[in-house]
């Protein structure tokens, strides 16, 4: 049987191995950093909260239960920690309110590749449509295509059902398609 | 208006052949699905949605500079170390205790040797030590291993077991450095390499610089970084190949064994040499089970627990024998 390098590093880290902890840090820091900035729109808050998150993780390694997917575990725990921090700072009343605030998940033109398989739209037009989506839809899109999480992992991270991840994706793509790009068979078929 | 067929959508999203069609990556799948779609035109909206979800949005990910990650890691490690010394003051004395014992053992071994000019460093099972030789060369000696040299010539070493050498160059005199094993002699100026004499052969992996091997059968071999040479005097078997330095052969010196697709039999042989235990496979086919991953090696029990977990087996320890069974 093969175990993923991530999983074996995780196991060593739980046993207190600092080298394993450092490897995990180097591997996951960039993606959690990008994710944190997308949630908060604030890089110094993201960096501070990531620092305390990793220190907390190390100091509480004895209390962590069985972890199936290291990546989604880190995403879900960091998301929780960051939202808590945001709640403290901005005195929001609920997590929903934070997530629905305008600042969350704003994409920039540099982040979109100029060639998109899904649509014939120009990047600028796609960007506009993307940024006009509700925050939850943007977060699902972000986690799926930017962070490359599976739908089951996204459900875990966002604490929603698998079905609602799927519904959210359907809704988002229905809006992202240009009106002229109706589901005509000629377009759907591969040339 | 046509509704999305949820069941079909879920099935399409999990169908490898459909995914190939959407990504245009397999000619047969493209042909098959094109004709299927023509026959299921009423489901066009569901098919189109599935295609969009598979292709998704292509993002250009923002890079976080390596220097930034390193700096952040250092500051996290500093915080961790501070809390460690605050809460675990007593345990921090233990390593000094061990270091003292090791030092005393050396003096004892050195003085007890019949040849007053000979120096020996020897490790017990499961013990890893860092040594600095008189010429400034650094050696990491793995468990159950031994090096010998004479005071007159501390750059001529005899090795039994496994060690990693970081040789200090002497540019002024271009003095060479030798490591002799039962199978061969390694000749170097200044470099980093790894020598393993377990089993009936000697393995050498070169990290940096260049070295010459003088094989016991009289042949010589020149090695460049990233190469692996294995030679056995008894069978005259020689292997010379490039190795993946991303999966270093000598990671044990950082307290971790890295196994890359090794059979459990090979992994356990490593344990036998390092810890002096006897391994019994209760199921023959377990021997061929492949392991990939890192295993902490400073403590036998942690090591065995990690192997148990990664190979999904049960290990029972009885004195100096350990038994492996399938779960």
Specify the pLDDT at position B260.
63
Task: Please tell me the distance from the alpha carbon of residue A7 to that of residue A12, in angstroms, as a whole number.
Answer: 9
The whole-chain average pLDDT of chain A stands at 85
CB contact under 8 A, A9 and B312: no
Going from N- to C-terminal start, the domains of chain A cover 1-104, 105-180
- Chain A closest-CA separation from residue B162 CA (Å): 22
Size of interface A-B (CB pairs under 8 A): 160
Specify the pLDDT at position B99.
36
Task: Tell me the CATH number for domain A105-180.
Answer: 1.10.10.10
Tell me which fold the domain B113-242 belongs to: Jelly Rolls (2.60.120)
Task: Please tell me the distance from the alpha carbon of residue A63 to that of residue A66, in angstroms, as a whole number.
Answer: 10
Tell me which fold the domain B255-326 belongs to: Phage tail protein beta-alpha-beta fold (3.55.50)
Specify the pLDDT at position A46.
93
CB contact under 8 A, B58 and A115: yes
Task: Please tell me the distance from the alpha carbon of residue A58 to that of residue A53, in angstroms, as a whole number.
Answer: 9
- Chain A closest-CA separation from residue B38 CA (Å): 8
CB contact under 8 A, A146 and B61: yes
CB contact under 8 A, B76 and A188: no
Task: Please tell me the distance from the alpha carbon of residue B171 to that of residue B191, in angstroms, as a whole number.
Answer: 12
Q: Which of A63-72, A83-92, B6-15, B237-246 has the lowest mean pLDDT?
A: B237-246
Nearest CA in chain A to B60: A111
Nearest CA in chain A to B51: A118
Pick the CATH number of A1-104 from 3.40.50.720, 2.40.160.10, 1.10.630.10, 1.10.1740.10: 1.10.1740.10
User: Given pLDDT bands bounded at 50, 70 and 90, which one contains residue A166?
Assistant: very high
**Per-residue burial over A107-134, b = 16 or more CB atoms within 10 Å of its CB, e = otherwise:** beeebbeeebebbebebeebbebbeebb
**Identity of the residue in B63, B255, B294 whose CB atom sits nearest the CB atom of A8:** B294
Residue with the bigger pLDDT between A191 and B305: it is: B305
In this predicted structure, the answer to whether residue A149 has a pLDDT above a threshold of 90 is: yes
**Identity of the residue in B4, B47, B306 whose CB atom sits nearest the CB atom of A188:** B47
SS3 B142: coil
Local confidence pLDDT in tens for the 327 residues of chain B:
468 899 999 999 988 889 989 988 888 888 889 999 989 988 888 999 999 999 999 998 888 888 899 899 989 988 888 776 554 433 333 343 333 333 333 333 333 344 557 888 887 776 777 788 888 888 888 878 889 988 888 888 999 888 888 888 777 777 788 899 888 888 887 777 878 887 778 888 887 777 888 888 888 888 888 788 888 888 888 888 877 654 445 555 666 666 666 788 878 887 777 777 888 998 888 888 887 766 666 667 777 877 887 788 888 888 788 899 888
User: Given pLDDT bands bounded at 50, 70 and 90, which one contains residue A92?
Assistant: low
**Identity of the residue in B59, B261, B295 whose CB atom sits nearest the CB atom of A113:** B59
Specify the pLDDT at position A113.
87
Task: Write the pLDDT tens digit of every residue in A26-50.
Answer: 889 999 999 999 998 888 999 999 9
Mean pLDDT of A139-158: 93
3-state SS, B109-139, equals: HHHHCCCCCEEEEECCCCCCEEEECCCCCEE
Rg (CA), chain A: 19
CB contact under 8 A, B44 and A189: no
Q: Residue B256: count other Cβ atoms within 10 Å of its Cβ.
A: 22
Task: Please tell me the distance from the alpha carbon of residue B289 to that of residue A114, in angstroms, as a whole number.
Answer: 46
Mean pLDDT of A126-130: 90
Nearest CA in chain B to A26: B69
DSSP A23-40: HHHHHHHHHHHHHHHHHH
- Chain B closest-CA separation from residue A93 CA (Å): 31
């Amino acid at each position: 049987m093969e175990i993923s390098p991530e999983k074996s590093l995780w196991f060593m880290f739980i046993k207190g191995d600092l080298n394993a902890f450092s490897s995990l840090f180097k591997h996951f820091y960039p993606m959690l950093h990008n994710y944190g900035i997308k949630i908060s729109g604030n890089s110094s808050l993201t960096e501070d909260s990531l620092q305390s998150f990793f220190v907390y993780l190390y100091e509480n390694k004895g209390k962590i239960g069985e972890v199936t997917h290291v990546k989604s575990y880190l995403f879900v725990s960091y998301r929780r920690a960051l939202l808590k921090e945001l709640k403290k700072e901005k005195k929001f009343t609920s997590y929903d309110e934070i997530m629905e605030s305008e600042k969350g998940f704003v994409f920039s033109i540099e982040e979109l590749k100029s060639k998109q398989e899904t649509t014939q739209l120009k990047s600028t037009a796609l960007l506009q449509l993307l940024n006009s989506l509700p925050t939850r839809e943007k977060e699902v899109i972000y986690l799926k295509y930017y962070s490359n999480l599976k739908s089951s992992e996204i459900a875990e991270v966002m604490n929603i059902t698998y079905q609602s991840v799927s519904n959210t994706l359907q809704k988002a793509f229905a809006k992202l398609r240009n009106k002229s790009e109706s589901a005509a068979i000629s377009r759907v078929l591969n040339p | 208006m046509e509704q999305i067929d949820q069941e079909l959508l879920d099935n399409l999203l999990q169908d490898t052949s459909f995914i190939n069609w959407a990504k245009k990556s397999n000619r047969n799948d493209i042909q098959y699905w094109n004709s299927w779609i023509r026959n299921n035109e009423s489901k066009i909206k569901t098919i189109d949605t599935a295609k969009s979800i598979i292709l998704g949005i292509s993002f250009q990910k923002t890079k976080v500079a390596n220097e930034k990650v390193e700096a952040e890691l250092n500051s996290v490690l500093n915080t961790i170390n501070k809390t460690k010394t605050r809460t675990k003051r007593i345990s921090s004395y233990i390593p000094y205790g061990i270091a003292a014992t090791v030092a005393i053992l050396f003096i004892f071994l050195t003085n007890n040797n019949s040849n007053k000019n000979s120096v020996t460093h020897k490790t017990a099972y499961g013990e890893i030590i860092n040594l600095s030789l008189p010429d400034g060369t650094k050696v990491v000696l793995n468990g159950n291993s031994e090096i010998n040299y004479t005071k007159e010539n501390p750059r001529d070493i005899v090795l039994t077991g496994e060690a990693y050498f970081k040789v200090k160059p002497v540019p002024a005199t271009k003095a060479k450095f030798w490591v002799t094993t039962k199978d061969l002699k390694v000749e170097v100026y200044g470099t980093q390499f790894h020598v393993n004499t377990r089993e009936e052969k000697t393995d050498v992996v070169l990290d940096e610089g260049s070295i010459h091997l003088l094989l016991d059968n009289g042949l010589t071999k020149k090695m460049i970084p990233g190469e692996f040479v294995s030679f056995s005097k008894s069978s005259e078997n020689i292997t010379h190949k490039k190795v993946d330095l991303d999966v270093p052969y000598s990671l044990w010196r950082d307290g971790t064994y890295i196994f890359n697709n090794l059979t459990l039999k090979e992994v356990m042989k490593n344990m036998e040499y390092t810890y002096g235990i006897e391994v019994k496979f209760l199921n023959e086919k377990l021997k061929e089970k492949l392991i990939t991953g890192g295993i902490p090696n400073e403590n036998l029990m942690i090591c065995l627990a990690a192997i148990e977990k990664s190979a999904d087996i049960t290990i029972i320890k009885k004195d100096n024998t350990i038994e492996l069974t399938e779960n």
